[in-house]
């Protein structure tokens, strides 16, 4: 346990935030810092074919230790952390034998992690919680996944009596800005299928995700002196508000759950003469997804018709699609992960991801790739936490998947 904790802490204290506003790949140079650390560590534990390519993808191989044919499986996690909240100077805090009560993350700023608000905390009573100090995110998304993959590989190397086929691992950059799979070389990776270790609660096993689009709305106004503005000024911020209000008000993230889609306004920058809105559009159902994009465009068209001018311009770009279509023909890869959890007395929670993962894009690139829990909660903010025991369980799931895959191949 302590070795796993130490490894996790080493990773999260390296700042690897990605940048959605930088078109370079990777989007931040600091992601290379952790990539190079991982290369050295993978070589140290005895992995083969350890590479770091020009796009900051770390790959390595654990050779098969059996004399019969076994499918090559892969495990993937991402290096970067979310640009939504600072990851500078992460200082993890440890709470052993968690008692189910409020945790004061930062007494000076009165920042409290409370089960009265975050009920999932109570799942981890009696365990060792790792939290932030209230001023940064933690980075369990997805450095817990990296920790689990490296720890599992080390365990298999140190315990050769556990039989397994060839295993490939990869750590990707820029997942948090939607580019994690863009430069992923599926042929080089050479796996028959893979798993991203990038889920949340213990037991999560996911092979469905949102269809996703990003949308930019530019609203043009007209600035004149406010004292003489009657009939002349067009305040783009008010037009933008009209656009926002014209979308379904109950189809937003905080009002939806399960398979319900949404429109999410995540950025607004405006002055009288010009306002820019940034949205994401999400739905699991492709038909409803396409309908949402049409509703979005229709909102702009209605305002332009009302004003008799093109004040509102919309640009919509698809980002990724629901991987269910690519996983269902090979459902045995989900069955293996489910069995791996059951052997550890973990109840599989098979549900749709209300988000995206590298696995979605990779599945469409020819690498079927369900998502498995990494253990963290409250990603992308100051209330992020993970139980050390969850990291340990996810590590064991990886080991079990390798064992079960080899056992099934032998039959």
Task: Please report how many Cα atoms fall inside a 13 Å half-sphere around the Cα of residue 169, on the Cβ side.
Answer: 30
Q: How many C-beta atoms surround the C-beta of residue 56 within 10 A? A: 23
Residues in contact with 159: Cβ distance below 8 Å, sequence separation at least 6, in sequence order: none
Would residue 69 show up in a list of annotated catalytic residues for this protein?
Answer: no
Give dist(CA 253, CA 397) in Å, integer: 31
Residues 6 or more apart whose Cβ sits within 8 Å of residue 316: 213, 214, 215, 281, 293, 296, 297
Q: Which residue, among 140, 32, 148, 149, has the nearest Cα to 92 in the 3D structure?
A: 140
Q: Which of 175, 206, 208, 384 is catalytic?
A: 175
Short-list 8, 100, 121, CA closest to 383: 121
Per the CB < 8 A criterion, the answer to whether 276 and 313 are in contact is: no
Half-sphere exposure of 341 (CA within 13 A, CB side): 20
Determine the Cα–Cα distance for residues 374 and 386; give it in Å rounded to an integer.
Answer: 9
175 among known catalytic residues = yes
The residue from 19, 80, 141, 142 that is catalytic is 80
Q: Tokens for 153?
A: 């590989």
Tell whether omega for the bond before 142 is within 30 degrees of 0, i.e. cis: yes
Looking at the DSSP bridge assignments, the partners of residue 215 are 279, 316
Question: Edge to edge, what strands does the sheet with 349-352 contain?
Answer: 48-52, 58-62, 167-172, 73-78, 193-199, 371-373, 204-208, 349-352
| HEC readout, 349-401 | EEEECCCCCHHHHHHHCCCCCCEEECCEECCCCCCCEEEHHHHHHHHHHHHHH
Q: Would you please indicate which residues are annotated as catalytic (active-site) residues?
A: 80, 175
């Amino acid at each position: 346990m302590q070795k796993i904790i130490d490894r996790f802490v080493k990773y999260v204290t390296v700042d690897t935030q990605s940048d959605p506003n930088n078109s370079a790949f990777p989007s931040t140079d600091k992601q290379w810092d952790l990539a190079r650390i991982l290369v050295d560590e993978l070589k140290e534990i005895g992995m083969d074919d350890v590479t770091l390519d020009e796009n900051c993808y770390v790959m390595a191989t654990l050779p098969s230790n059996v004399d019969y044919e076994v499918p090559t499986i892969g495990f993937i996690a991402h290096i970067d952390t979310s640009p939504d909240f600072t990851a500078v100077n992460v200082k993890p805090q440890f709470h052993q034998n968690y008692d189910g009560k409020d945790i004061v993350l930062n007494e000076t700023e009165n920042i409290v992690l409370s089960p009265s608000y975050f009920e999932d905390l109570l799942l981890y009573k009696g365990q060792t919680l790792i939290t932030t100090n209230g001023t940064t995110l933690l980075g369990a998304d997805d450095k817990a996944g990296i920790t689990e993959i490296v720890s599992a590989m080390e365990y298999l190397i140190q315990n050769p009596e556990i039989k397994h086929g060839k295993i490939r691992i990869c750590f990707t950059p820029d997942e948090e800005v939607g580019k994690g799979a863009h430069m992923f070389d599926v042929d080089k990776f050479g796996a028959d299928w893979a798993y991203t270790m990038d889920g949340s609660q213990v037991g999560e096993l996911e092979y469905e995700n949102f269809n996703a689009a990003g949308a930019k709305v530019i609203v043009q106004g007209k600035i004149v002196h406010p004292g003489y503005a009657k009939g002349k000024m067009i305040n783009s911020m008010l037009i933008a508000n009209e656009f926002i209000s014209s979308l379904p008000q109950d189809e937003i993230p905080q009002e939806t759950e399960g398979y319900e889609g949404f429109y999410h306004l995540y950025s607004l920058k405006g002055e009288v003469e010009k306002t820019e809105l940034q949205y994401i559009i999400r739905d699991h159902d492709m038909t409803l997804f396409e309908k949402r994009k049409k509703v979005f465009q229709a909102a702009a068209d209605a305002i332009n018709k009302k004003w008799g001018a093109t004040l509102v311009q919309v640009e919509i770009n698809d980002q990724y699609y629901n991987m269910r279509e690519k996983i269902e023909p090979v459902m045995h890869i989900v069955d293996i992960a489910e069995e791996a959890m059951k052997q550890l007395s973990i109840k599989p929670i098979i549900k749709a991801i209300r988000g995206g993962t590298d696995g979605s894009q990779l599945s469409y690139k020819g690498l079927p790739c369900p998502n498995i829990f990494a253990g963290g909660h409250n990603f992308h903010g100051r209330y992020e936490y993970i139980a050390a025991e969850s990291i340990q369980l996810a590590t064991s799931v990886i080991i079990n998947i390798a064992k079960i895959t080899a056992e099934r191949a032998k039959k």
